[in-house]
Structure 1
C-alpha cells in the first residue's frame, strides 16, 4: 500500500521539481521597512496547467478578476506573483490596470506571454498599489529566484500579513518507482470565513494534469478544507487558491489514469489543503483556542453546516471559549437559531467524549469535566441532532480581547 509522506513546515513550492521561487522586500506598506519581505514570485520554466478557486464576495479585488480572466483563457501558465501589504481591492480601473502591468512586466522579463502569470494581493483595502516599488521589487525577484529551500521559505514569508508564522507543507509519494510531489504555501490569520478566508494559498505538483481534472480535484479539496474554517466570520475580497502542474515528472494523472494513481493524487492535494487550513485557524489573530465542531445526525449536509457555522461564528460562544467557560447553553441556543431542522428533545451535546446534554437533558454533575476540557488549547464539541445521517466538520477559534485590540485600528 503506497503511503503519503506529509512534511509540515517544509520549503514549500521549491520542493516540487521544476519550480523556483523568490521573496523580496519592496516596502509596499510604506513604513521604510526594507527588511520585511512582501513580494513573492513562484515560477516554472516548463508550462503548467492551472486551477483556481476564488472568493464569492461580490466585491472582488483586481487581482482576483485578473486570475479568473487568465484561467478562462486556459494558459499555458508559468507562475504567480503575490504581494502582501496592499490588497489592490476597491481600486477601480486603475487597480485592474496595475494588476495587468504586474503580470506583463514579469512575463516580459522572462520572454513569456502576459497571460502566463497570475497576480495575487493581500493587505489593506482601498489603497492604490505603489507600483514603482512593486515593479522594482519584481525585477529583483526575477533575478534572485532559485530552487533552494531558502528561496521557497522566503516566498512563503513574503505573502504574510498579520500571520505570526509561515505556512508550508509538502506531501510526497512513490508510484510505479517514481517519487511525486504536491506542495503548498498559504497565508491567513484574520478575516477568515469561507468562501474561503482572508487567505491566499498556492499549490504546485510535478505531475502533468489536464485542466479539467486539476480543477475538479482542487475544488473538492478546497470545499472540504479551506471552506470548513472560521476565525471571525468575515469574508475577504481577495481569497484565492491556485494550483499549478508543470509535468516535470513526465507522468500524467487524469480521468483515464489508473484508479490508484487518481486516488493518491487527490489525497495528496487534499492533505496539502487540509494542513494549510489547519495552520490558518491555528494562527488566527490573537486566538488562544482551536475548537473542532463535529455535527452529526442532521437531516441534510446544509443543516449540519448551518449548525456548525452558527456556533463557530457566535460571539457569545467564542467569548466563552476564551474564558474557558463550558457554557453549553450558548451552543444549544446557536444551534436553535441556525435555521436547521432541530428537535430539542433529541439533541446531544458533548465536550470531547463527555456529554453535556443527552436527548435534551443536561448533565450538571459532569461540569468539572467540561471545565477541564475547555482549558486545553484544542478540544472537540460534538453535536448530534438525531434527525438524519448528514455530517459536517468545522474548525473555529475563540474571540479574544487581543483580537479586538489588534483590529480596532491599523
Structure 2
C-alpha cells in the first residue's frame, strides 16, 4: 500500500468540485460535489440518534437498495435536521436539480448536510450551488482539496487521504475526506465521511466491510460525547480498476481490501479527533489484554470520553486517578490490582500505575510526555488477548467559547 495524493479524486472516474453558495458562511466555499463518471455501488452507515436529519433518511433509502449512485451533494452551514416534511421536500428538489444538471436519475444522487440544526435550507441558494458544482467538476488533486475544505464547519483543517494497492494484479485506488470537530461521538459527529474507490466488488461485501470497519474506527472517536443527527459515512465503488470482482468474503482479495479500507478510516478518524473543537492535543487510549474485544472497546471509550481526564490532558497533568475512575465506572470487569497504566508520546514513555498503586513516577518527566501534540494512555489488563483503541482530544477553554455562540 502506498499513500498518494488526490484525495477523493485519486480513484479512476471520480471528480469533485466546490462552490460558495452563501448558505450560512460568508467569503468561503460551503458546498461540494463528488461525481462518478460511471454508476457506482454504494454503502453507508449512519447516526443511531433517534432524531435523524432529512439527508440521512434520503441516503439510507438509496444505499440500502440496489440503486447505483452517480453523485453526492454536500452542504455545510445548515444541517437540514428537525425540518420535517419541508426538509425532505428540499432533499427531493436538490436531488432533482443535480439529476437535471448531470443527466442522471434523481435516485442516484446522495445528499449530506452539516451545520445548525432546526433551520430550513435556502433551497434557491442550494440549487444555484448545485448548478455551479455541476459545471466545475474536475478530477484533480486541487478539486479534491477544495471539496474537503467546503464541507468544514468548525473544523480548523481539511481532512483527506488517498492510497493505492494491488488486487488480483490490478492497481486499486481509494480516497477519502471527512469533516468533524464538534458534536463528535459517532455510533454508526457532526461527522460526515466520504470514501471513493475504483475497486470492483459486490454490493453485499462493500456494505459488510464498511459496517464492520466502523466499529473500530469512527465509532471509537469522541470529542464531546454528543452523537449528531447527521452522522454519515458513505463509500462509493465504481469498478474502474477492472480487477476480478470480489464476491467471496473468505478470499485474500477481500482481506486486502478490508486492510486498506481500515487504513483510510483510521487515518480520517484520528484527523477528526485531533481537530476537536478547541483541542491542543490528540488523545489516544489503548486498552490491551482484555477478555473480549467489546470489553476493550468499552474501557477505552470510557477513558477517552471522561471530561476530567480530557481536562487533565489539557493541563499536561498526569492525574492517573481520573483514568482509573473512568475504567471503573465503564461497567466492565477488570482487576485494578493486576494492571498497568503508562503515558507515552514522542517525548517518551513512563509507567504511572502498577498492581493497585502509583509507582512513584517523576512528575516532570510525565508532564513533558503529556505536552506533546499526540498523547497516548496505555492500559495493560493481563486478562486476555483482545485490545482496542479510542481517539479523542483534550478539553480546553476554547471548546466552551466555540459552542457558546455556535449559531451566531
2:258 and 2:335 map into 1 onto residues whose CA distance is: 38
1:149 is matched with 141
Kept after mapping to 2: 8 A contact 1:298/1:385:
yes
Kept after mapping to 1: 8 A contact 2:352/2:361:
no
2:36 and 2:164 map into 1 onto residues whose CA distance is: 19
1:5 is matched with 2
1:358 is matched with 354
* CA-CA distance at 1:302 after TM superposition: 2.6
* CA-CA distance at 1:258 after TM superposition: 8.8
* CA-CA distance at 1:217 after TM superposition: 1.5
2:235 and 2:330 map into 1 onto residues whose CA distance is: 34
Kept after mapping to 1: 8 A contact 2:53/2:81:
yes
2:362 aligned counterpart, secondary structure: helix
* CA-CA distance at 1:250 after TM superposition: 2.1
Kept after mapping to 1: 8 A contact 2:2/2:164:
yes
* CA-CA distance at 1:268 after TM superposition: 1.8
Aligned residue pairs total: 402
Structure 1 281/69 Cα, relative in aligned 2: closer, same or farther at 3 Å? same
RMSD of aligned residue pairs (Cα, Å) = 1.7
1:21 is matched with 16
Kept after mapping to 1: 8 A contact 2:276/2:392:
no
* CA-CA distance at 1:12 after TM superposition: 1.3
1:39 and 1:338 map into 2 onto residues whose CA distance is: 40
Asked if residue 42 in structure 1 is aligned to residue 34 in structure 2, the reply is yes
Equivalent of residue 373 in structure 1, options 369, 372, 376? 369
Equivalent of residue 390 in structure 2, options 394, 397, 404? 394
Moved more, 152-161 or 253-262: 253-262
* CA-CA distance at 1:176 after TM superposition: 5.0
* CA-CA distance at 1:262 after TM superposition: 2.1
Kept after mapping to 2: 8 A contact 1:207/1:252:
no
The 5-angstrom pairing of residues 41-60 of structure 1 reads: 41-60=33-52
1:11 and 1:124 map into 2 onto residues whose CA distance is: 30
2:88 is matched with 96
* CA-CA distance at 1:71 after TM superposition: 1.8
1:332 is matched with 324
* CA-CA distance at 1:175 after TM superposition: 4.2
2:234 is matched with 242
Kept after mapping to 2: 8 A contact 1:253/1:262:
no
Equivalent of residue 381 in structure 2, options 355, 361, 385? 385
Equivalent of residue 101 in structure 2, options 91, 109, 112? 109
Asked if residue 214 in structure 1 is aligned to residue 211 in structure 2, the reply is no
* CA-CA distance at 1:88 after TM superposition: 0.2
Structure 1 176/303 Cα, relative in aligned 2: closer, same or farther at 3 Å? closer
1:302 aligned counterpart, secondary structure: helix
Moved more, 338-347 or 241-250: 338-347
* CA-CA distance at 1:177 after TM superposition: 4.7
Kept after mapping to 2: 8 A contact 1:59/1:237:
yes
2:260 is matched with 268
1:68 is matched with 60
Asked if residue 314 in structure 1 is aligned to residue 306 in structure 2, the reply is yes
2:341 and 2:267 map into 1 onto residues whose CA distance is: 27
1:391 aligned counterpart, secondary structure: strand
1:273 aligned counterpart, secondary structure: helix
1:162 aligned counterpart, secondary structure: coil
1:171 and 1:192 map into 2 onto residues whose CA distance is: 25
1:76 and 1:332 map into 2 onto residues whose CA distance is: 48
* CA-CA distance at 1:388 after TM superposition: 3.0
Structure 1 324/257 Cα, relative in aligned 2: closer, same or farther at 3 Å? closer
2:289 is matched with 297
1:201 aligned counterpart, secondary structure: strand
**Residue deviations 1:358-405 (CA, integer Å, cap 9, x gap):** 111211243333222111121221112333333221112100001111
Unmatched tracts of structure 2, length 5 or more = none
Moved more, 91-100 or 352-361: 352-361
Asked if residue 407 in structure 1 is aligned to residue 403 in structure 2, the reply is yes
Kept after mapping to 2: 8 A contact 1:197/1:226:
no
Query: When the two structures are superposed, what TM-score results if normalisation uses the length of structure 1?
Result: 0.94
Moved more, 275-284 or 84-93: 275-284
Kept after mapping to 1: 8 A contact 2:169/2:243:
no
2:275 is matched with 283
* CA-CA distance at 1:17 after TM superposition: 1.1
* CA-CA distance at 1:342 after TM superposition: 2.5
